[in-house]
Structure 1
Amino acid sequence: MGCGTVPRGERALFRNRFVRVLLLSALFLQIGVWVRNLAVLMYVMEKTGGDAVAVSLVQLAEYAPIFLFSFVGGTFADRWRPKRTMVGCDLTSALFAFLVLPAMERISWTAALAAVFVSSVLSQFSQPAGMRLFKRHVPEKWVQTGMSLYQTLIAAFMIAGPILGTMVYESFGIEAAVAVMGAAFLASACVLAFLPPDSAEDGSRSGSVLADMAAGFRYVRANRVLMLLGGHFASAGLALGLIQPLTVFVVTEKLGLPKEQLQWLLAANGVAMLIGGALTAGWSRKIAPETLLLVGALVSSLSVLTIGLSTNLGLTLLAEFSVGLVLPGIQVGIATLVLRSTEADFVGRVNGILNPLFMGTMVATMAVSGWLKERLSLEPLFLAATVLFCIGALFVFPLFAARRAPNASGDAA
C-alpha cells in the first residue's frame, strides 16, 4: 500500500451513503459535545469560584442521562423512524442551545447546565437510532471496519476536543461556545437530512412501550453473547470506577511529582488511543472482534497492575500508553459483537440495557474509591481493579465458542 493511499476496504465502505453521512454527522456532534463540555465546565468553575458541588453537577448533567434515559431512549429508538429521530434530536438540541443564549447572563451558570443536560438526554434517543441504521444498511463484513473508523474519530477528539473547547471559551466566552454547540448540532441535522427516507415499516410498531421494554429484557436474557458481554461490562465498569478518580494520586504519591504532571499521563493515553484507532481500522477485517476484546482486556489488566505498582515515570507512561492503545480495539470489538448478535429491531433496547450496566457499576465503585483509598492505599485498589479486569476477560473466552454456534442471537420471545 503506497503512502497516502486508502485501503480497498475503506474505499468500499466510504461508497456506502449511510456510512459517509453518519461519520460526518458524528464529526459535527463531537465538535459540539467537546466545546459544550469544556466550556461549561470552565464557565461554572469561574462563576462559582471552583465550587466542588457545582463542578460535580456539570459531570452529573453530562453522565446521569446515560444511566437514567438510555433504556427509555433505546426503546423509543426501536419504535420510531431512525432518520426522523436523529434529525429531530439534533434540531432540538440546537434550538435549545440558541434559546439558552439570551438567558446566559440572567440565569447564570444554571442555563449552561440545562443545555448540557438536555442535549445529553436527547443523545440517548439519537445514538441508538444511528446504530439501527448502521445495522440495517451496512453489510456485516464491513461493520467492524465502520466501527473502527468511528472509534478513530472519537480518539482524535480525545486529543483535539479539550484543546478546541478551551480555545473557544478562552478566546470568545461562554456565549460563543454555546453558539458553536448549537451550530454543530444544526450542521449534524442538516447532514442527516441527506439520508434516504425511512422505510414504511419504521415507526409502525404497535403495542405498549412497557411491552417493548419487557421484550428487550427477554431478548438479552435469551442471547448468550449479550449476557456474556453484560458480565464483561459489569466487571470493567467496577474496575474503571475504582481507579479512575485515583489517577492524580498515582502522579503525586507513586511518582512523587506535582499534580500538574498528570497531563503527561493523559497525553500518552490520548495519543495511544489515536494510534490504536488507526491500527484497529487498518486490521479490522483481519482480526475477530472476540480477539480484539480479549487482547484488550488482558493488556488492560497488566497495564493497570503496572500503573498501581510503578514508581518510575517512564514505566507508568508506557502502561498508560498501552491502555490507550488497546481501548479502541475493546470498543470496536464490543460494538461489532453487539451489532452482529442483535436484530435491527432490538438494537436500541440492547444498547439501553448494556450501557447503564457499565455506567452503573462504574459509578458505584467511583463513589467509594476515595473512601477506600483513605483506609487502604493505591496498591490494593489497583490490584483489585486488575482482578476485576481479569474476571471480565473470563467472560470473553466463551464468546469464541458462541461464535461457532449456529444461532447465537437467542430468541426474543
Structure 2
Amino acid sequence: MKELLKNNVFLIVQSADLLQQIGIWTRNMALLYYIMDQTNNNPVAVSLLTALEYLPIFVFAIIGGAYADRWNPKRTVILGDFLSAISMMVILVLISGGIWQSVFAAAVISAIVSQFSQPSSAVIYKKHIPDHLVGSAIGIGQSIAALFLIIGPILGTFIYTQLGVTTSITVLFVIFLLAAFIQLFLPKTERNIAKEQQQSVVVEIKEGVQYVLSQLNLKIIAAMFFISGLAFGITQPLDVFVIMERLGLEKEDVQWFAAAEGIGMLIGGGIAVALTVFVERYTKMVMTLCMLIFAVITLLEVVSVWPVFTFSIRILSGLAAAFFQVVFSTLMIKQVATEYIGRTNGVIMPLMMAGMLGGSLVSGFIVIQINLFGAYVIAAILIASCSILTIKMNNPTPAEVVSD
C-alpha cells in the first residue's frame, strides 16, 4: 500500500477522479430533479434521460476505445475534462434563455467525453502502475466511488434544492476545469505514431473484435454485460418511483438509498482490496455469486414497503457491486494486452450500453402497460440468467495473462 501511495500517477488519477465524482453526482441529482419538476414526475421523461446517457456510450465506446490505443492518453484525459467544462457553460446559457430541454444535452456530452477519457485512464494505469499493485489501485478507486455514492447524492440534492440548477451547472464547470488542471502533472506518454501510419481505425476496431472473440472470458463477459445491461436499464430509471410508490416517500429521499448503496460499496471495496488474491483466483465464483445476489435484490427492492429493509438491501447491493467491479477491472487490466485495452473496452461496453439503452427506452412503457412490479420481475429474471454464463468462465491463472 505504501508503494502505491508513492506512485504519482495513481495519486494524480485518483485526485482527478475525486473531483469528477463530485461533478457526476452534482449532475445526476440536478438533472433528475429538474426534469421531474419540469414534467410533473413523468416516468417516460426520466427513462428518456437515462437513455440519452447510454446512447452516446453505445455509439462512441468502440470508437473511443480505438483512439485511446492511438492517441496520447494524457492529452486525451485533459482535453476531455476541458471540453466538458466548456459544454456546461453553453448549457447554462441555453437554460438562462428558457430552453430547459438543453439539460438533456448535459447527459449526452458527458457520456461522449467519457468514452475517450476512461479507456485512456486505463492505458495510463497499465503503463505506469506495477502489475502487482493494479488490484489494490482499482480497489481504492472503487472505494472512492463508493464514498461518493454516500455523500454524492446528498451533496447534489443540497446544491439543487438550496441553490438551483444554475448553481449546479456552474459547479460542474469549475470541477471539470480543476480536473483538467490536475492531470497536467501526469507524466508524458507518447502515442504509437508508427502504428497509426500503418493501419486505419476501422482495421484496429476489427482487430479489437477479433481479440475479444479469441478470449473465452471476454466473450462471456460481453454477453453477460448485454443481458445485465438490459436489466439495469429497466430498473435504473424506476428507482425514484420505487421510493415514491412503494415506500411512500418524497422523490428527494432517493439520495438516502443511493447513499446506502455507497455504504455497501465502501465496505465491499475495502474487503475486496484485503482479499485481492482470493478475488482474482476465484473470478468465476465471485461473478456468479454477484449475479445471483443482484437478481434477488432486484425482486426484494420492489416487494419491500419498509424503508429500513430497502435501505439494508441497497447496502448489500453496493457490497456485491464493489466485488464485481474490482474483479472485472482487474481482469481487464491484467489479462488484456496494453495495445488492446482501449479496443477491448470499446467492444464490450457498447454491448452493455446497448442493453441499458434498450432497457431504459422501454422502462417507462413497461410501468404504464404492466406495472412497477412487473418491470422489476423481468429485470430479475434477466440478471439471474447471467449466472449461467459466468459459471462457464475460466478462473484466470498467471499463464493466461497476456503479455505486452
1:110-189 paired onto structure 2 within 5 Å: 110-189=101-180
Residue 269 of structure 1 corresponds to which residue in structure 2?
261
Aligned residue pairs total 399
1:355 partnered with 2:349 = yes
One-letter identity of the residue aligned with 2:177: L
Q: Deviations over 1:202-228 (max 9, x none)?
A: 685222111111111111111112112
- Classify the secondary structure of the residue corresponding to 1:196: coil
One-letter identity of the residue aligned with 1:220: V
1:3-402 paired onto structure 2 within 5 Å: 10-46=1-37, 55-106=46-97, 108-199=99-190, 201=192, 205-206=196-197, 207-245=199-237, 247=239, 257-260=247-250, 263=254, 265-288=257-280, 290=283, 291-307=285-301, 315-369=309-363, 372=366, 382=376, 384-401=378-395
- Cα gap change, 1:172 to 1:373, in 2 (>3 Å): closer
Q: Deviations over 1:320-341 (max 9, x none)?
A: 3322221111111111111122
Mean Cα deviation higher: 23-32 or 94-103: 94-103
Preserved CA contact (<8 Å) 2:220 2:390: yes
- Gapped regions of structure 2 (runs ≥ 5): none
Preserved CA contact (<8 Å) 2:43 2:238: no
- Cα gap change, 1:154 to 1:234, in 2 (>3 Å): same
Q: Deviations over 1:168-223 (max 9, x none)?
A: 23343333322221111111111111111113636852221111111111111111
TM-score by length of 1: 0.84
- Classify the secondary structure of the residue corresponding to 2:57: helix
Q: Deviations over 1:343-393 (max 9, x none)?
A: 111111111221121122233344445555666666666555444333322
Preserved CA contact (<8 Å) 1:226 1:341: no
One-letter identity of the residue aligned with 1:327: A
- Cα gap change, 1:12 to 1:295, in 2 (>3 Å): farther
State the shift of 1:292 in Å: 3.5
- Cα gap change, 1:356 to 1:404, in 2 (>3 Å): same
TM-score by length of 2: 0.85
- Greater CA radius of gyration, 1 or 2? 1
Residue 7 of structure 1 corresponds to which residue in structure 2?
none
Mean Cα deviation higher: 99-108 or 375-384: 375-384
One-letter identity of the residue aligned with 1:287: V
State the shift of 1:397 in Å: 2.8
Residue 4 of structure 1 corresponds to which residue in structure 2?
none
- Classify the secondary structure of the residue corresponding to 1:198: coil
One-letter identity of the residue aligned with 1:231: A
Structure 1 CA distance for aligned equivalents of residues 122 and 24 of structure 2: 19
Structure 1 CA distance for aligned equivalents of residues 131 and 398 of structure 2: 17
- Cα gap change, 1:357 to 1:194, in 2 (>3 Å): same
- Gapped regions of structure 1 (runs ≥ 5): 1-9
Mean Cα deviation higher: 11-20 or 287-296: 287-296
Identity %: 32
Preserved CA contact (<8 Å) 1:239 1:386: yes
State the shift of 1:48 in Å: 5.7
Q: Deviations over 1:110-134 (max 9, x none)?
A: 4444344323311111111001111
